[in-house]
Amino acid sequence: MSSRIPENIAILIDTSRSMRRTDYEPTRLESVKHALKSLIKERLEVDNSSSFAIIQFSDTAEKIIEFSNIFSVLEESLDSLEYNGTTSLGEALALAIKMEITELRKVGAKNPKILIVSDGNNLGDEKDLVKMAKIAAGLGIEIDVFRLGETSNINVLKRLTDITGGTYFYINTIESLQEAVRKVAYSNIKSFGKKTQTPLENPAFARKIAAPLLNLQDMTKDQEERIKQIRGEADYKKCSICFKELDPITGGSFFLTGRYCPNCQAPFHIHCLSEWADSQKDKVFNKAAVVRCPHCFYLLKIPSEVSQVKRLKILATSKTSLNSGITPKEFAATRHVVSELGEGALYKSCPVCNFIFEPDQHVIMCNNPECETLYHEECFEKLENSLCKICSAKLNLQ
């Protein structure tokens, strides 16, 4: 059984002077425009949930249109492309990745993909391009390439597809361009069977892409005026969860602990937002210290200082229980290689020495499902009575 998975495809189009060449009639760029119109039209006919953004790159990278599934608007954007200067692919990739991250933060995010269309001339620093490709790969963004014109011994475009798991199309005729268009247009069919993890089910990924909250001083005048318009001038500095100006946890003013959602500008105390996150009981998001905005559902990053306070409270509560004579719970502790535990483990640190872990290191994990703290082997031996430093459970090494 299979179905079509909607995608956000950022199309990066080379509009440098070399795209004037006439080996594809009437020119390389005009042939590309026609082909991309066919690609977009065919994809939207079979899946109108997919969206396309268009970025042109020559001397600089320029966003022509945000993600859209309106064919007439996309067609007009393609028609507006003009030749100009040399290529700046690295800048275009950075812009595309930023746009894809913005979309990934939204509810019902579509699979991200980048399509580069270029003749491969003067693409810039290969190290920068490889760095961008590795960032894209870390975010689950595949890079496909339509490579026009003659090939060369150094093919950085092929390397970008290899790094991200995308597809490289070498195009040397109009017919091969049309074939590449058909393959990409119908490429979003996925088979259902074994459940695969979505990116947001990984706490490290969720933390990586979540948007930071805005401070009051980060707000532009236009944003402030908009909030005053919507909420009334008297309460635009009041938390939209507790409806108070003073922080109910710290007693501080909104200026100190108030933040705004960068998407809808809703105001929150950072502690109120953290309590809201706890009430949602989302294990992955709680572990990642992220939450969706209660108003627009944009993915937000809970400030690290709040997460640290919560962690210290848990520790203090555990120690109080021990001092009162309560027998600690017991859990197994198991040995692992960090790389076997997924990318999220590489973002953690040992609570004994506070150093992060290397991919090939052997570690010991607390098997309390509410904790799962990792220790270096030598640090685990330093635990008093084999009690976990975070949850204070008695750990029995397997």
**Structural domain contains residue 58:** yes
pLDDT at 108 (0 to 100): 82
Q: What is the pLDDT of residue 220?
A: 66
Indicate whether 316 belongs to any domain.
no
Q: How far apart are CA 389 and CA 373, in angstroms?
A: 9
Q: In angstroms, rounded to a whole number, what is the distance separating the alpha carbons of residues 152 and 155? A: 6
Pair (174, 245) in one structural domain: no
Say how far residue 304 (Cα) sits from the centre of its chain.
18
Cα radius of gyration rounded to whole Å, the chain? 25
Contact 39/179 with Cβ under 8 angstroms? no
pLDDT of amino acid 151: 67
The per-residue pLDDT for 245 is: 87
Residue 383 resides in a domain: yes
Q: What is the pLDDT of residue 229?
A: 47
Alpha helices in 335-383 (DSSP H): 377-380
Q: Are residues 40 and 150 in the same domain?
A: yes
User: Residues 249, 290: one domain?
Assistant: yes
Residue tagged 């109108």 (tokens): 48
β-bridge partners, 362: 337
Burial class (CB in 10 A: 0-12, 13-18, 19+), 371: middle
296 and 381 co-located in one domain: no
- Would you state the pLDDT for residue 326? 60
Domain assignment present for 320: no
In the chain, the number of structural domains is 3
**What is the pLDDT, as a whole number, of residue 234?**
46
Last residue of a domain, one of 259, 275, 307: 307
Q: Are 120 and 79 in contact (CB under 8 A)?
A: no
Shared-domain flag, residues 296 and 354 = no
Q: Has residue 322 been placed in a domain?
A: no
For residues 295 and 273, give the distance between their C-alpha atoms in angstroms, rounded to a whole number.
12
The pTM of this model reads 0.72
Q: 391 is in which domain, residue-wise?
A: 327-397
* Residue that terminates a domain, selected from 161, 191, 221: 191
Residues 68, 50: Cα–Cα separation, whole Å? 8
Separation of alpha carbons 84 and 305, rounded Å: 47
User: What's the pLDDT score for residue 1?
Assistant: 57
CATH of the domain at 183: 3.40.50.410
Q: pLDDT averaged over consecutive 10-residue blocks of the chain (398 residues)?
A: 86 93 92 96 95 94 95 96 84 95 90 94 86 91 92 80 95 93 91 58 81 79 56 66 86 85 90 89 84 93 71 50 64 90 72 78 88 89 87 86
Are 11 and 147 found together in one domain? Answer: yes
Contact predicate 322/393, CB 8 Å: no
Q: What is the pLDDT of residue 373?
A: 87
Q: Based on the fold, state whether residues 260 and 363 are members of the same structural domain.
A: no
Of 168, 191, 214, the one marking the end of a domain is 191
